[in-house]
């Protein structure tokens, strides 16, 4: 049995014990004493801690699988065909030259090879294979990219046609005139906003052949850019950044407003669930803050079953009402007027990557401190193309 599966089963048992304790200690008014509440929260804390350890192990397993991939193709009976050799930024020559340039090793051969991916601002486009590594790293750091529809654009705005209203059929008399009823269309425009970060590396590490520069930059880029991206995809206002799913204009639709500013009831979760049209519910997921999950974890349905159910399968999220549950620190916590629970099909949120991420080496700027700087930039935008596909639970103001 794998360690992850073992921990999932342990968490499931811990949750069953917590539920049994909660049921046995509830008074006639459905409330717990202060002492019982403290005991329950300690049991619930163990469930949360196990969940975080499972997430860490799953991320580690994914990274180990990525790094264990072969670095070249195995030898076969048939020699490789020269006509199939990769060219441009996908070529091995460009990849070697790119990382040699990042390490400060510049020769005439390297300069010639890098002309393929030279950027107008003086940097160099990331080699094709490394760019795919960056995208995978972003997915590990950024849950939004796992759920949204991610596209790649080359230049200019991307126009997305959207059906604004649909035609209908009508009953007509014999030989009567058939009324016109056309579909109407709109469009959503996705551009590109610039996101940037600077990474500094000591010259000692940079010159150390054991230090894996590629992996370090990929992870740092993912950590910084991934967090800033996800924040914008949730709460961005569209001014110099993407329009978030919780934005007042261009975001999802409010499906339910709670009766209390600091609490959520079972009926309100059910109302949110059914406020989303049935076709969207097939692929819908819940997204909320960890603190909101803690509040919902105590809710039961009419059959006595708790809404929150832990997953016991690897790489499978927990569920609410049999729909997957994800958490993000960028979804607001429960407070007056906050949008605390998102439910819908995130495939209708489009993330547009402008093709080519750019790295630039700063050799002289940090020379007095014995460091070399790297500027990493990315152009990205995101918009919800169909607001009715996402419903939001908002706390009473």
- Residue 89 token pair: 């930024």
d(CA 111, CA 94) in angstroms, rounded, equals: 10
d(CA 291, CA 186) in angstroms, rounded, equals: 38
3-class state of residue 393 by DSSP = strand
pLDDT of residue 294: 93
Q: Which residues pair with 384 in a beta bridge?
A: 349
The phi and psi torsions of 160 (rounded to 5 degrees) equal -115, 110
Least confident of 60-64, 124-128, 147-151, 269-273: 124-128
3-class state of residue 194 by DSSP = strand
Residue 75 pLDDT class (50, 70, 90 cuts): very low
d(CA 205, CA 372) in angstroms, rounded, equals: 10
Between residues 255 and 372, which one has the greater pLDDT?
255
Between residues 16 and 98, which one has the greater pLDDT?
16
pLDDT of residue 229: 93
Tell me which H or E stretch contains 310. Answer: none
- Average pLDDT estimate for 384-397: 96
Express as a percent the part of the chain with pLDDT over 70.
84
d(CA 261, CA 258) in angstroms, rounded, equals: 7
- Average pLDDT estimate for 63-72: 62
Asked if 359 and 220 touch (Cβ cutoff 8 Å), the reply is no
Structure confidence by residue, pLDDT tens digits, 2-49: 888 899 999 999 999 999 998 888 877 777 888 988 999 999 999 999
Asked if 368 and 354 touch (Cβ cutoff 8 Å), the reply is no
d(CA 101, CA 131) in angstroms, rounded, equals: 16
pLDDT over threshold 70, residue 206: yes
Q: Which of 171-180, 228-237, 293-302 has the highest mean pLDDT?
A: 228-237
pLDDT over threshold 90, residue 195: yes
Structure confidence by residue, pLDDT tens digits, 342-368: 999 999 999 999 876 788 888 888 888
- Average pLDDT estimate for 103-114: 57
Residue 66 pLDDT class (50, 70, 90 cuts): low
Residue 137 pLDDT class (50, 70, 90 cuts): confident
Structure confidence by residue, pLDDT tens digits, 250-309: 999 999 999 999 999 999 999 999 999 999 999 999 999 999 999 999 998 888 889 999
pLDDT of residue 101: 72
pLDDT of residue 57: 87
pLDDT over threshold 90, residue 241: yes
Least confident of 155-164, 282-291, 319-328: 155-164
Q: What is the mean pLDDT of the chain?
A: 84
pLDDT of residue 282: 94
- Classify strands 349-354 and 149-153 as parallel, antiparallel or unpaired: parallel
pLDDT of residue 33: 87
pLDDT of residue 217: 80
Angle at 257 between CA 268 and CA 295, to 5 degrees: 50
pLDDT of residue 285: 98
pLDDT over threshold 80, residue 149: yes
Asked if 144 and 229 touch (Cβ cutoff 8 Å), the reply is yes
CA distances from 386 to 69, 116, 251 (A): 39, 39, 9
């Amino acid at each position: 049995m794998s360690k992850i599966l073992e921990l999932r089963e342990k968490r499931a048992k811990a949750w069953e014990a917590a539920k049994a304790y909660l049921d046995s200690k509830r008074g006639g008014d459905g409330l717990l004493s202060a002492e019982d509440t403290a005991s329950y929260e300690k049991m619930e804390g163990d469930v949360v801690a196990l969940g975080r350890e499972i997430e860490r192990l799953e991320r580690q397993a994914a990274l180990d699988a990525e790094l264990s991939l072969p670095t070249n193709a195995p030898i076969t009976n048939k020699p490789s065909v020269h006509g199939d050799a990769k060219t441009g930024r996908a070529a091995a020559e460009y990849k070697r030259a790119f990382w040699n340039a990042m390490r400060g090793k510049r020769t005439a051969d390297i300069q010639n090879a890098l002309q393929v991916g030279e950027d107008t601002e003086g940097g160099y486009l990331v080699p094709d294979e490394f760019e795919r590594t960056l995208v995978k790293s972003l997915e590990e750091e950024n849950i939004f990219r796992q759920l949204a529809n991610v596209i790649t654009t080359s230049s200019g705005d991307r126009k997305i046609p959207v059906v604004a209203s649909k035609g209908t059929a009508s009953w007509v008399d014999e030989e009567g005139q058939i009324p016109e009823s056309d579909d109407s269309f709109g469009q959503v425009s996705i551009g590109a906003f610039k996101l940037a970060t600077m990474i500094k590396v000591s010259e000692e590490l940079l010159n150390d052949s054991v230090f894996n520069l590629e992996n370090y930059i990929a992870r740092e880029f993912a950590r910084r850019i991934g967090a800033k991206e996800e924040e914008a995809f949730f709460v961005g206002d569209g001014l110099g950044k993407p329009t978030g799913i919780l934005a007042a204009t261009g975001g999802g639709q409010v499906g339910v407003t709670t009766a209390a500013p600091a609490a959520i009831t079972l009926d309100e979760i059910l109302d949110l669930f059914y406020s989303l049209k049935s076709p969207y519910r097939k692929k819908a997921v819940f997204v909320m803050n960890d603190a909101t999950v803690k509040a919902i974890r105590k809710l039961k349905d009419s059959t006595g079953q708790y809404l929150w159910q832990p997953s016991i399968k690897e790489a499978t999220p927990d569920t609410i009402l049999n729909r997957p549950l994800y958490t993000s620190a960028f979804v607001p916590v429960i407070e007056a007027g906050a949008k605390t629970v998102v439910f819908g099909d995130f495939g209708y949120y489009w993330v547009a990557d402008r093709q080519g991420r750019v790295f630039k080496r700063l050799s002289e700027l940090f020379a007095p401190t014995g460091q070399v700087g790297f500027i990493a930039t990315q152009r990205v935008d995101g918009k919800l193309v169909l607001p009715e596909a996402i419903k939001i639970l908002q706390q009473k103001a």
